[in-house]
Homo-oligomer: A and B are copies of this chain.
Amino acid sequence: MRDVAVIGIGVTKFGELWEKSFRQLIAEAGAKAILDAGISGSEIDALYVGSMSAGRFVGQEHVGALVADCAGFSHMHIPAIRVESACASGGLALRQGFFSVASGMNDVVVVGGVEKMTDVVGSEATDTLATALDQEWEAFFGATFPGVYAMIATRHMHEYGTTREQLAQVAVKNHANGALNPYAQFKRPISLEAVMNAPLSAYPLGMLDCSPVSDGAAAVILCAGEKAKKYSDKPVRIKGSGQASDTLALHGRNEICTFESTAHAAAMAYKQAKITPKDVHVAEVHDCFTIAEILAIEDLGFVKKGEGGKAIERKVTTLDGSLPVNPSGGLKAKGHPIGATGVAQIAELVMQLRGEADKRQVPDARIGLAQNVGGGGASCLVHILEAM
């Protein structure tokens, strides 16, 4: 396996983008990434794209071929691979693209992620998101994502004394960061009171504990490490990649306050990268709900199990804390166009490791970690990046 570097990134604004279609979004992100890398389209060997449910959200499957086509690659007939792992689809696309370059199969690939979620009516977005749960044993009986994460949150409060305020502080921090991110869906700070008093989604999670329904896309260009300096002054190495699965339904697990998929994927990535959690300078984690960020920092080994809420309260993870988490604003404030999320996390880390994150820059960040969770933790991707 050879070194692999990220040499270009591109993201669209995230939000309710009624004026932009699915294909326009991914074409925009891809074009930005190609421009950023300074490569020619003809140098691209293959395309990997993550999308959770284009079939339901916009009536389009065959997503790999669509993206190759709308990106202008159809005359090159390149292989186009669409992968899906619910909310971790973007991270999965990155891992597949990464291994294709690491193995020598490809030299230059585009990895994209995209979702267009707001062109649906009624409860269709919630219903479609619930297809990432176990349809026969959870969703069919009315379980939704806020409900599933609410069960995890109440259990975490019971087991470890995590408080409603600590959950809310995750949202406050991420909105403060998102206010500094020009691509974020919500570019405004929110107060602790606003989060605490927001309408309830599923106790203890209120409206402002939940990431939004979003449109958006992100793309990165990967190339063989030895060629990276040819394209980029500041290439970023993919130092480790981990992926793991777990039972689809929550009730199949030994306990629900740990995502074993995260723990296993992280162990795999740390081992490959030859680092420990202490070596990470900045992390983008999957805060689809506030409780999910608390689980993430515990399961990734940044803090002990049960200490996540207290770490939030002690401001360990703020921009000026000892381990800044979600400087982009996270899924909560940046937005969560499902397939795009895992790739956008990588784009944010690359900006951080290049020192180009402007007002939300984490000083001296050289090693970054991204954690991308599928559904209620049935899949997880962890990637570790390092400035070269």
CB-based nearest B residue for A375: B62
**Binary flags per residue of A41-72, CB closer than 8 Å to B gives 1, else 0:** 00000000000110110111111111011000
Cα-based distance from A227 to B252 in the complex (angstroms)? 34
Cα A58 to Cα B66 with chains together (Å):
23
Residue A313 is within 8 A (CB to CB) of chain B in the complex: no
What's the nearest-Cβ distance from chain B to residue A173, in Å? 28
Is A131 part of the binding interface, using a Cβ–Cβ cutoff of 8 Å?
yes
Select the residue from A56, A135, A244 with max chain B CB neighbours within 10 A: A135
Taking a contact as CB atoms under 8 Å apart, the answer to whether A246 and B82 are in contact is: no
Cβ of B80 and Cβ of A64 under 8 Å apart?
A: no
| Interface of A, helix, strand, loop or mixed by DSSP | mixed
A 244-267 to B, binary, CB cutoff 8 A, 1 in contact else 0: 111111001000000011001000
Known: A244-B79, A245-B79. A59 touches B105 (CB 8 A): no
Q: Which residues of chain B come closer than 8 Å to A135, judged between CB atoms?
A: 58-60
A99 at the interface (CB under 8 A from B): yes
Q: How many copies does the complex hold?
A: 2
A-B contact pairs, 29 of them (CB 8 A): A1-B103, A1-B104, A21-B136, A52-B61, A55-B55, A59-B139, A59-B140, A60-B131, A61-B128, A61-B132, A62-B85, A62-B132, A62-B374, A64-B84, A65-B85, A65-B375, A68-B245, A69-B247, A69-B248, A74-B245, A74-B246, A77-B264, A79-B245, A80-B379, A81-B96, A82-B84, A99-B105, A102-B103, A103-B104
The 3 closest A-B pairs by CB, nearest first: A103-B103, A65-B378, A62-B86
Chain A interface (Cβ < 8 Å from any Cβ of B): 1, 21, 23, 52-53, 55-56, 58-66, 68-69, 73-74, 77-86, 92, 96, 99-100, 102-105, 128, 131-136, 139-140, 243-249, 252, 260-261, 264, 374-375, 378-379
